Structure 1
Amino acid sequence: MIELPESVTLANQLTKAIKGKRIERVIAGKSPHRFAFFAGEPEHYGVLLRGKTAGESRSYGGHVEIELEDMRLDFNDGVNLRFLAPGQAEPKRHQLYLAFDDGSALVGSVQMYGALSAFRAGTNDNPYYLAAREKASPLEDGFDVDYFRSLLHSVDRKKISAKAFLATEQRIPGLGNGVLQDILWTARIHPKKKAGDFSGQETAELYMAIKNVLRDMAEKGGRDTEKDLYGNPGGYRTILSKNNAAMVCPECGGGIKKEAYLGGSIYYCPACQKM
């Protein structure tokens, strides 16, 4: 899934790979997918995008947006983006294919669910997109201690868990269930612990973990559980994920637990992340 570290990585790679290239051919919706969402009808994407020249690509939370003159092309959630060099064959299955004037191409395919949205600049009123554009990013100076405290004070801390606080309601766009695991482990906070039970030290540790872990993930090209624009895994080695085959905590040597919680899996060390 595209979360903040992956969106930063993809945006940087896209700018280097396609900026200045003109779109010559567009195929949208080739492989029907129940949970591939388009802005409008995919059959109109050719008219909207053909002939446009790619500008900068930018990251907003878990969104990756390509500037195409007066148009924008936005990807989020479970969209896999791949750049194809000239001569590489078009995959048999995909939800979006853009062929450029130099023979290269960009392919977008959806796994579980994802949005591939083409729209005129300034016209996207999707609340998730707007939240990603408007809210402070943990990678920016605007996400300071006071801002973080304002997020904590905006919720019912007696009822909301650490996972729910961080990864729901778009409070911190781009921070999802994937990056959540290592952030909470670094702060030594159990995913189910109520925000109202955080000590002052835990609150400070959580703030710093959000800033530092996400920065580390982004600087290393995303997590090793995800792929970049060229199909390579990210350089950040996740601590709590399916990639930790031994399921051993690197801090205490104890076993890592995995269980279902709030619509997804959580990983935690019972010894280091106590309730």
Structure 2
Amino acid sequence: MTMLNDDQFAEKHSIVNELFINTADDNYIAARWCFHENLNVDFFWLAVHCLEKYLKAALLLNGHSSRSYRHDIIRLYEAVKPLAPELLPKTLVKPSDMPINVWRQETVEQFVRRLYRDGQADNRYQLYGYSRQAEDLWKLDQLVFSVRRLCQPLELHFFDEKIVGLPDETRRQRMSKDHPCSWVLRARLEETIEGKRGTSLQHAALNWNRPFAPENYKHTEMEYRSSVQNPVLVRRIYDPLAGGAENLADADRLWDWVKSSIQLPKDLIDEIEIERENMKNKYS
């Protein structure tokens, strides 16, 4: 059964709006603030959170289940694309006033994979480190704008019912024409943009936000910064092995403590074990 002929549509829409769209809006606003404040771990974590929820809302409001995807935004994006491929970006576009040397070209799918790598749950503890590019916020804004507007029944008519004298079009059709109101969901992001939640949140949501900010919005001065964080396990587990054979015993003791005391993903443990053996074999 699609949402269009569901007699519980209003109730289901309310559940999706509260569980997914409103919480995603808050995550998105917080992610933007973290980016501007160089809180990079939380920027990636919140960026993945908001995209996960928007993607799940798009599936649910268009008659699909969201259960099997967990937090995997790579699989979620692949599942959402067939809903409206014509409404999702084929490429992420550099803003006209951004210096060309700070924009790194990548596909939408590459950006989604990179976000997930640096913002996935296991990286809350910086097990893998991160690589923040100067343009990441602008790419996130473009992706959120495109995905968020799919969080509505795409085949529902724009005015919910046919009205004499007005175009009889679905929301998908109106979005294809870039109708200025087609993205409006009347959720927390809209309240924030209108200033109903205070000027601080409004500024966090709109500052240098090309897709969502009004043309007359006054943006603050922008600095374009990149940042890279190597994981502590590389420094503490690998680097001593590279320092010489005399460090092997201490390196083994430290690695044994890490494995017995800290919860690590199995694939990461296996990867470290293989790399440690390769490094130690150089001394045999």
TM-score by length of 2: 0.26
Q: Which protein is richer in helix relative to its size?
A: 2
The structure with the largest alpha-carbon Rg is 2
TM-score by length of 1: 0.27
Q: Which protein is richer in strand relative to its size?
A: 1
